[in-house]
Structure 1
């Protein structure tokens, strides 16, 4: 399995986890999780790789990840990229049976991964407003002696951040109010695919896993993700290949097998079509910018 489910034991009464993390080369695998993530780069530079996207990282940049899109942060040569991450369960903000007003705070995370811009540049107005709020949340969360009102302070600031995210994505035309991606069968399928994409999984296998007819599942998946089952698996495999090309010294042939391809020609064709360059060209272009760590 090349996908990895990165989870924390949240306090169910206040399901949030805030921590300072230093990314040093190829420390983490491509992963997904069942919580929402807001990441703020506070020092250094590097890259953030998502399913079909990659972003350069500098101080002040903000990143969003929802509860099923594979992603990983890696650092550049000679750099250690430092982040503050806020992980939280949707239940912290809204109950599905609660106020519609609360549910609206979560709309920025109900995105379609193929056309969503996960990054907010540090010089954007929203990032400048969010930057101090993230630091304040981290300070309240990290206090040695907790105050009875600290959780309220965190909750207020997180909602302020979510409001800024809504303004940003609405204003940039990258905001959709369609919540169809929350279809439970599709989410269950995506989580299974994220874990098993490097294996020879079939649409019938995944449909059986979620307990619905394969023909209906094919239609349902395309309707709610705007991509075919095969296309989604392809994006997962290529994103993992990009990560391995940048952050390991594995040969291309090894990487081809690692991400689930038995046919090298097919891999090269798919990679060139999605990335607009060959795997070797991609590695040459970015290799000197990324720290290589041996596993």
Structure 2
């Protein structure tokens, strides 16, 4: 399901809360906010689409606004997390580069930061600070929350940038700034018939479709067409898991214009037909007996 996140105080578009996942796996979901989760006790698993990570105390999970995901507790020792949800525009207003650690690119994007990673040791106190400040609401809370969240985002940014040659990183930053309006547009309109040229013209980006195509591939690791298809496939999976819509209805509701294209793309992505995916991942049975 796609969750719409609201914030208690719009001037500080950040939510922080303690959460214990259920031992029975619930439906995967996606939401408009970015998210970071710190496992503070217990154990379990964290799912991102077809990926599954074991969760232990101290582990941190980075969630963007595109991947279907959910956490699950170990039945014998339920996990508890501190989760932060925040509006991407909160970071965008400071520095577009701060969104790069959350930009989905399969070659770079890493959801899991193990608790024994030194980076996790630096991020965990910042996550706790945001949670404590929003819980206590003391004088200057908004400034403390923003400061901690910016520090956290910079540390994630450095994790992404350090292994990359500086010239390539500078180009990546430039390209990401160019395509950010396109990503936001696709998030809202991926169900519509779209192509890169018409999107570029509609958004009045001032760059050629050819240049934008190269920038898109460099920044996301995917072509515009493949990126759009990923959004549609995620929506199709969500509908298959959470509704009783006919598969053909799911195809068109997800933005695919052709059933043949949908079936071919779904098989290539999931390794099974849409009907088989639904049977395997129905909300009532999904990974019901899942173990380590």
Q: TM-score, normalised by structure 1?
A: 0.68
1:58 maps to 55
* Pair 1:208 & 2:206 matched: no
Offset from partner CA, 1:138-162 (integer Å, 9 cap, x none): 0122105x144x4565455445534
Three-state SS of the structure 2 residue aligned to 1:116 is: coil
Question: How far apart are the structure 1 equivalents of 2:102 and 2:124?
Answer: 22
* Pair 1:180 & 2:179 matched: no
Confirm or deny: 8 A CA contact 1:38 1:85 kept in the other structure: yes
C-alpha displacement of 1:5: 6.8
Q: CA RMSD in A?
A: 4.2
Question: How far apart are the structure 1 equivalents of 2:54 and 2:238?
Answer: 15
C-alpha displacement of 1:187: 1.8
Deviates more, 1:74-83 or 1:175-184: 74-83
Confirm or deny: 8 A CA contact 1:46 1:81 kept in the other structure: no
2:16 maps to 19
Question: How far apart are the structure 1 equivalents of 2:107 and 2:155?
Answer: 20
Deviates more, 1:261-270 or 1:127-136: 127-136
- Alignment equivalent of 1:229, drawn from 224, 229, 245: 224
Question: How far apart are the structure 1 equivalents of 2:269 and 2:252?
Answer: 18
C-alpha displacement of 1:169: 4.2
Confirm or deny: 8 A CA contact 2:100 2:176 kept in the other structure: no
Confirm or deny: 8 A CA contact 1:63 1:119 kept in the other structure: yes
Question: How far apart are the structure 2 equivalents of 1:54 and 1:16?
Answer: 29
Confirm or deny: 8 A CA contact 1:37 1:88 kept in the other structure: no
* Pair 1:165 & 2:150 matched: no
Question: How far apart are the structure 2 equivalents of 1:275 and 1:208?
Answer: 33
| Alignment length (residue pairs) | 269
Aligned counterparts, 1:246-261, within 5 A: 246-261=241-256
Note the residue ranges of structure 1 that are not aligned, 5 or more in a row. Answer: 97-102
Three-state SS of the structure 2 residue aligned to 1:179 is: helix
Three-state SS of the structure 2 residue aligned to 1:70 is: coil
Question: How far apart are the structure 2 equivalents of 1:189 and 1:5?
Answer: 20
Question: How far apart are the structure 2 equivalents of 1:174 and 1:76?
Answer: 38
2:86 maps to 87
1:282 maps to 277
Confirm or deny: 8 A CA contact 2:60 2:120 kept in the other structure: yes
Distance 1:201 1:216, change over 3 A: same
1:116 maps to 108
Confirm or deny: 8 A CA contact 2:63 2:111 kept in the other structure: no
1:100 maps to none
Question: How far apart are the structure 2 equivalents of 1:80 and 1:198?
Answer: 36
2:233 maps to 238
Distance 1:253 1:92, change over 3 A: closer
Three-state SS of the structure 1 residue aligned to 2:109 is: coil
Q: TM-score, normalised by structure 2?
A: 0.68
Confirm or deny: 8 A CA contact 1:46 1:290 kept in the other structure: no
1:40 maps to 38
Question: How far apart are the structure 1 equivalents of 2:91 and 2:216?
Answer: 25
Confirm or deny: 8 A CA contact 1:39 1:64 kept in the other structure: yes
Question: How far apart are the structure 2 equivalents of 1:244 and 1:55?
Answer: 21
Query: Quick one: higher RCO (CA 8 Å, sep 6+), 1 or 2?
Result: 1
Question: How far apart are the structure 2 equivalents of 1:41 and 1:248?
Answer: 31
Confirm or deny: 8 A CA contact 1:41 1:62 kept in the other structure: yes
Confirm or deny: 8 A CA contact 2:68 2:234 kept in the other structure: no
